[in-house]
Amino acid sequence: MSIHEINPEELRRYINNHNEKDYLLVDVRQPGEYEEGHLPGARLLPLPELVRKMDTLPQGLDLVFYCRSGARSLAASVIAEEEYGTTGIYNLNGGILSWDGAVAENPPQVRIFDKQAAPEELYMTAMNLERGAMNFYMTVDMRYGGETWSDVFGRLAEAEIGHALAVYRLWRKGRTGVNDFDTVFAGLSGNVLEGGMTLAEALDKAADSGGRTCVHLMELALHIEYSAFDLYRAMADQAESPEAHEAFLKIAQAEKSHMNILIDALGTCPP
């Protein structure tokens, strides 16, 4: 086994080309650094905790480490190489200081989920978040339906319904006398999005474009999708059942594909 040093561009390609179930992105900085900004989807595991918590890492996955400048994550990579059996170990050369892509601020908003609640309630919360994202995208699509670039928001709205349906199937398992998906979904308020932003706040931000409506909306949608990806990776890590873990990873993978759709759509915005 060898440690692979990768630069930011190589890491972006790696993330885009790998399924979320095949690797784990690990931030080995301190909690305060993580809260100031971290790569979306990263699990926080400060270097001092790494050795005693090595057994909490899932087996058989690639491990991708990063820190502020690359020094702590290189140490983490060496520790992992000696003590952890996996298919590959990667270190982000230059750390987050070299990263020129998006970062997520604050921890993933798992506080949206009441961890003391029954799994069925967590699934209901997840469906409501998807309803919130759908409400946002549908509203934007209706407001700007005459624009050549607006169709991407309609496609994203439909995709959020698909995510909610995947969660619904987990929610209804083992339950009797439950309503069908359309009835359950229609009854949700959808008043909050995955990053913790309320629907009203998101729509207010959407209206304040500063004259660059297309770019502004695409960037806002990217922020929403990065937050969603970050959240569902965290929820997958905390899931108690293998089925829920797999479902949340699939949703995270889909959120990542949405980011790529929006990045491509940015190229269609008027200059």
Per-residue pLDDT of the chain (271 residues; tens, 9 = 90+): 578 999 999 999 999 999 999 999 999 999 889 988 899 889 999 998 987 888 788 888 899 999 999 999 999 998 888 877 656 899 999 999 999 877 776 655 544 455 455 667 778 888 998 999 999 999 999 999 888 888 999 999 999 999 999 889 988 888 888 999 999 999 999 998 877 788 999 999 898 876 788 988 998 898 888 888 888 888 888 777 888 888 889 888 988 888 888 888 888 888 7
- Give the C-alpha separation, 88 to 102, whole Å: 24
Could you give the 3-state DSSP secondary structure of residue 6? Answer: strand
55 and 172 within one domain: no
Q: How many domains, in total, are found in the chain?
A: 2
165 and 256 within one domain: yes
- Sheet of 62-66, strands arranged across: 3-6, 89-92, 62-66, 23-27, 43-44
Residue 271 lies in a domain: no
Q: Give me 246's structure tokens.
A: 């797999």
pLDDT given at position 117: 54
Residue 185 lies in a domain: yes
172 and 38 within one domain: no
Q: Pick the last residue of a domain from 98, 122, 144.
A: 98
Residue 90 forms beta bridges with which residues?
4, 64
What is the span of the domain harbouring residue 259?
110-266
pLDDT given at position 58: 82
DSSP character string of 86-142? -S-EEEETTGGGG--S--B-SS--GGGS-TTS-HHHHHHHHHHHHHHHHHHHHHHHH
pLDDT given at position 134: 95
φ, ψ (nearest 5 deg) of residue 50: -60, -45
144 and 74 within one domain: no
Burial class (CB in 10 A: 0-12, 13-18, 19+), 68: middle
115 and 94 within one domain: no
Q: What CATH number should be reported for the domain holding residue 126?
A: 1.20.1260.10
Note whether 204 and 171 are within 8 A (CB): no
pLDDT given at position 162: 93
207 and 84 within one domain: no
pLDDT given at position 54: 82
